[in-house]
Structure 1
Amino acid sequence: MAMQEFEEQILVAAPVTLKTWVRYEYDVFVIMNQGEIDCFLNFLYGRNEAIQFEMERLLDYDGCHPVEHNKSVVKMLWSGAGNLCSTKENLKEERKHLEKVFVDNGYPKSVIKGWTTTQGKRKRAADTRQAATRRVTLPYVKGASEVAARLLRKHGGEVVHKPANTLHGGLTKMKDTEEEEDKPGVVYNIGCGN
């Protein structure tokens, strides 16, 4: 069964509402309600047992993301809650929920507390004042990138990691490749039948 045909069938018959469905070759990016994930996966497995699905969580601390990116998730969600909640009660509830989500996704308590305490705020302010003057951007390779960052930090440098592959990069390069003989200005040899 072709992936496109399978995709068309499941999108029509899905027992849950999918907010977003984007496929690139055999990778699918889906946004849906968290409580409906198991129901949807069971539905997919029931349609074709030969197809296996693997779920990746963007918040997973042990995934292949630089530590700085994981810390920035905590920073972004923590400060975002402060900007969006209208009352102190709502803010307290939201931050309690965030702490649980971080723990459930494998974040060490030291990373969580680094952004959730006043001590963490003072440390961040000091780190900002001592920001490195030499910045290097490197692709992220789990294990090696942390060592490179540590070594450069010892010499006053700062490493900013970027992902080697991105969803945007994969989705925007869907141009067909040209055959050699169709390219302009290409010299090629046509064998004679002698």
Structure 2
Amino acid sequence: MLEFCLNNAYFMFEEDLYLQTDGLTMGSPISPPVADLFMESFEQEALLTAPNPPRIWKRYVDDTFCVIEREHLASFLTHLNNLRKDVIKFTYEEETNDQLAFLDILVKRKPDLSLDTAVYRKKTHTDQTDTTDEPRPNATVILPYVAGTSEAIRKVLRKKNLCVYFKTTNTLKQQLVQPKDPIPKDLQPGAIYSIPCGSCDQVYIGETGRTLKKRTSEHQRDTNSGNTQKSAVAEHVWQNQHDIDGDNTKILDMNTKWSERKFMEAWHIHSTPDNFNRDKGVDIPPEWNRLFKRTSDQVN
């Protein structure tokens, strides 16, 4: 199973499907442990075959702290980069003023060549702490920010001694950073769709838990073979000698939950009286009829 997952890392880019043949997939849950196993194997080989290995070698993920004679530093770096030059490359940072930061630790070299450690703080660290005597809130609430509404909500919740923070739902990162190509809707499961007739003004409303591309291909197959029992689209074509306008098939809504998708299909059927569906979908309370009529009038 592990071999299958590692050798079948498919991804989509600009609507084309690719297979990753080198490296590990970003975001995959198996990538971190496999990468760590690789690093363990790599460092064992590197230290055993090095002419002048370091006296200390400590690694955390991909950061390594080592103590080595300065005269052997360049040759050891070359040795590391020659082992897997097509996969991994090492760089280094030397100590300054007998000290070196490693992760959150500041390692100091004492005159007797022993090592001492301290907490490493970046230059931007302010060392400021909260010294106010105000009572602590009972709880913290994080809500989406809505201009004009969030301020009023905060005012009410503060009276209940609740600390309120707001987050934006439309950040610059969300707009600009898209590491993965979005999957086209017709390749996503769970669609409510409409297929228009090319010879009249009627449409067919349908739903599928699979992809729209798969479902429309089934409609086309049944139409070509004359299988009118399986497809209302095929029945409409053969009974009326009409043609289906498949190029203008539309996705009306997306939902992967069966019950919600069936209700949304029925909603669109009721809101589109000029359809050639065989039935009206799931039962919807009659109280909704006025809203269906209003929606239909707006569409028309």
TM-score (norm 2): 0.23
User: Which structure has more strand as a fraction of its residues?
Assistant: 2
Structure of higher RCO (CA pairs closer than 8 Å, 6+ residues apart):
1
TM-score (norm 1): 0.33
Between structure 1 and structure 2, the one with the greater Rg is 2
